[in-house]
Amino acid sequence: MNFPGVDAGRAFRNTGFWKTSFGRQSVIRYAKPTSVDEALALLGEDAWRILAGGTDFYPAQGSKPVRDNVLDINGLAALRGIAETSDHFVIGARTTWTDIVRHPLPPAFDALKQAAREVGSVQIQNVASVTGNLCNASPAADGVPALLVLDAEVELRSVAATRHLPLQDFILGNRRTALLPGEMVTAIRVPKPSGTSAFVKLGARRYLVISIAMVAARLVVEDGLVSDAAVAAGSCSVVARRLAGVEAALRGLPVDGGLADAVLAATMAELSPIADVRGSVEYRLDAVREIVARAVLAAVGRTTGDEVAAA
């Protein structure tokens, strides 16, 4: 999409007009700030649609004319990269999926790295941001289950304040988040995790596919027993969910084939899938139980860990 008249040396310029139903013309603004403070100041004075990687922005826009102010944050170098503090890993809002794959991270992040490799094509992974995957708030967002099992939280900033929300409280529903007017997500914060993890995705084909169901699992093993477990499923409810019944069933078990039996017998009351062209309700409920078992076993190294199963 072209924004005529954009001057790279200026923060923003009015770039077009559209007529209201009353025949009046309204100015559409395009801005490409060079600092986070500048971006927040712009957000504080007007309503903007934020453009990061653009891999969801442009397909959603299609051939329709742009009718929103566009805030392009691709000039904010401070928001890209992964930093480590004494107690957190901090993933900047512009960090791409390729950045996740390439960055050295503990084994607990393996599920996130596996999910990163399933977000569209390599070309998409090179530009799509991890935060954009969250803000798009699709029930089939590949990155969400893996971040849920890492107990991730989002950092929300405005001119007035900074706040942190657990990821499970940030995504409210299909295409709905807890972002307030004037706010933007500036980072994803992950408490330094322990354990090992895996991600399994079920799709109609091996590559470039929207999930029928997907699961991330992270297990902590001590003396041959599961001391802690975190399991989350996506594409089987309006938002991805942690599976408390499965987690409780796994704790205290020895690391052997009995883990799969525990999964198959556990409750998954959090799930409420829909029927669509990719699968029926019944199929999703049966399939997700199987891929939870696969993800759990892969997390403790008892399978090959193949990340995608074709339907």
On whether the 12-72 domain is CATH 3.10.450, my answer is no
Q: How many CA atoms lie within 13 A of 97 on its CB side?
A: 29
Closest CA to 118 of 105, 108, 128: 128
Residue bearing tokens 């969400």: 144
- What is the pLDDT confidence band of residue 251, given thresholds at 50, 70 and 90? very high
89-117 pLDDT, tens digit each? 999 999 999 999 999 999 999 999 999 99
159-179 pLDDT, tens digit each? 999 999 999 999 999 999 999
With 0-12 / 13-18 / 19 or more C-beta atoms within 10 angstroms meaning exposed / middle / buried, residue 303 is middle
With 0-12 / 13-18 / 19 or more C-beta atoms within 10 angstroms meaning exposed / middle / buried, residue 79 is buried
In the chain, the percentage of residues whose pLDDT exceeds 90 is: 80
Residue 80 in this model has a pLDDT that exceeds 60: yes
pLDDT score recorded for residue 186: 98
Residue 229 in this model has a pLDDT that exceeds 70: yes
pLDDT score recorded for residue 16: 52
263-309 pLDDT, tens digit each? 999 999 999 999 998 899 999 999 999 999 999 999 999 875 455 55
Query: Can you identify the CATH homologous superfamily of domain 196-310?
Result: CO dehydrogenase flavoprotein, C-terminal domain (3.30.390.50)
Domain range summary for the chain, segments of one domain joined by +: 12-72, 77-191, 196-310
pLDDT score recorded for residue 293: 97
Q: Would you say the CATH fold of 196-310 matches that of 12-72?
A: no
Residue 144 in this model has a pLDDT that exceeds 80: yes
For 77-191, CATH number out of 3.30.465.10, 3.30.300.10, 1.10.8.60, 3.40.50.460 equals: 3.30.465.10
Closest CA to 73 of 103, 38, 97, 29: 38
pLDDT score recorded for residue 27: 82
